Amino acid sequence: MGAVPFVLPRRKRQRSACPLSTNTRSVASRFPRNGRRRWTVARGEGRKSWQPRARKECAMTDSLLWEDVNEGDELPVLEYPITVKNLVMGVVGTRDFMPYHHDSAYTQSIGSRDQFVNTMFNQALFGRFVTDWCGPDADFRATTLNMIGQVCPGDTAILEGRVASKRREGDDYLVELELNSRNHLGSACISTATMALPSREGGGVKPRLELAKPQIELDPGFPDFAREWLGKESEPRYGAYPVSEVQIMYWADMVEDSNPLYEDTEYARDSRHAGIIAPPMALITWTMDRPGRSGVNPEAPDVGQPERGPWPPRSGPPTAAARFDPPGATATVATISEQAYGKPLRPGDRVSASTELVNCSGLKQTRLGPGYFTTVLNNYYNQDGELVGTNLFTLLRYTAQEG
């Protein structure tokens, strides 16, 4: 007897009065809260056409299956206008209170065009872009993000993507995606995503429960002054707040991500995760410090009032490994983030992170000024000591040019 085809589970609710036709496959993606919508992909018409359908009319279920994805497939383009309100929502959604993302005067004073969206905002937007395409039955295994330019208020972020490859790896049916975000000036950031998709042969995606740290090859120009910092892992630092449904929804709101695993209790309870989960790319958010302690200078975190110290006052100095400062470095810009994801985080989890310097380039001349590209490894743990994610973060630590 042949194998029984895998069928994705449907939500436990009354059958829809308008079942999907045989030439239309629904993608569980676009159904914003309050007047929710969802998209369907009309097949057999040469080109994909995206049509909103009321969520109340058609139950959300189907996602892409691995067998139906081919190398070279293109993701539907997403255009996302950026406003000052978006940046405010980004500050709230990511808990990133660095002045680059809300203070135009300061950001322009150090040579940037204007205040700009942060790394996590870009990760969130790519996350929405991907799950809009594949649906919520897929899991993120890893992502990379390479910051090339800056996206500022008045810009429109235009996201494009394609399937680079597909493969099987253990129990996973994987798809590698190449993604790009551009504005009127050109490419602003490029990304990759490794996605585990459900399969007719293998069934539903199995959540990953274990994760190993990455292995790093040192830069040939690794400077001598950085060697004393190499591999010195910090003590774990805990986020100011636990994972919460409120913060998860702030994250989703900032990029209009309607993934039901993040906000639909009924859907999430019936899913493979058996409850609401946090967006995987939000790792950094869960260990951000309190707003009154966040700033370029941790001892004077408010650039608008430099005589004001951190609040609440610190009980000790910032973590040494996290404060590695190359000679002459006065400013920081994130360039590359490489994340891997283990056990999903859930509301109520308390996240801690340890940090260590794992790489440093020689002195480079950049358009922002001379500086060093440093790479730190952040290891993220839940309250049970389980490694739930890693983030290799490459930063440009440079000497800001005046004017």
What is the per-residue DSSP string for 86-113? HHHHHHHHHT---GGGT-HHHHHHTT-S
CB 153 within 8 A of CB 84: yes
Per-residue pLDDT of the chain (403 residues; tens, 9 = 90+): 444 444 454 444 333 332 222 222 333 333 333 333 333 333 333 333 333 333 333 333 469 999 999 999 999 999 999 999 999 999 999 998 888 888 888 888 888 898 999 989 999 999 999 999 999 999 999 999 998 999 999 999 999 999 999 999 999 999 999 999 999 999 999 999 999 999 999 999 999 999 999 989 999 999 999 999 998 888 898 988 999 999 999 999 999 999 999 999 999 999 999 999 999 999 999 998 887 777 778 777 788 888 888 787 877 665 544 568 899 888 888 778 899 999 999 999 999 999 999 999 999 999 889 999 999 999 999 999 999 999 998 899 999 876 5
Nearest in space to 190 (alpha carbons), one of 199, 181, 198: 181
What is residue 62's predicted lDDT score, i.e. its pLDDT? 66
DSSP 63: -
What is residue 92's predicted lDDT score, i.e. its pLDDT? 92
Looking at residue 242, its amino acid is P
Copy the structure tokens of residue 130: 């991907």
Show Cβ contacts of residue 2 under 8 Å, excluding neighbours closer than 6 positions. none
Nearest in space to 253 (alpha carbons), one of 96, 39, 91, 141: 91
State how far the Cα of 113 lies from the Cα of 159, in Å rounded to an integer. Answer: 21
Helices in 33-188 by DSSP H: which ranges?
84-94, 104-109, 119-134
What is residue 142's predicted lDDT score, i.e. its pLDDT? 98
What is residue 312's predicted lDDT score, i.e. its pLDDT? 79
Nearest in space to 33 (alpha carbons), one of 201, 230, 264, 221: 264
Number of H-type helices and E-type strands within the chain: 6, 14
CB 194 within 8 A of CB 338: no
Give start-end residues of each CATH 3.10.129.10 domain in the chain.
63-306+321-398
Nearest in space to 164 (alpha carbons), one of 75, 71, 76: 71
Q: Can you give the pTM of this predicted structure?
A: 0.78
The superfamily (CATH) of domain 63-306+321-398 is Hotdog Thioesterase (3.10.129.10)
What is residue 318's predicted lDDT score, i.e. its pLDDT? 58
Copy the structure tokens of residue 393: 């973060």
State how far the Cα of 300 lies from the Cα of 243, in Å rounded to an integer. Answer: 27
CB 212 within 8 A of CB 341: no
Copy the structure tokens of residue 210: 């274990």
What is residue 338's predicted lDDT score, i.e. its pLDDT? 94
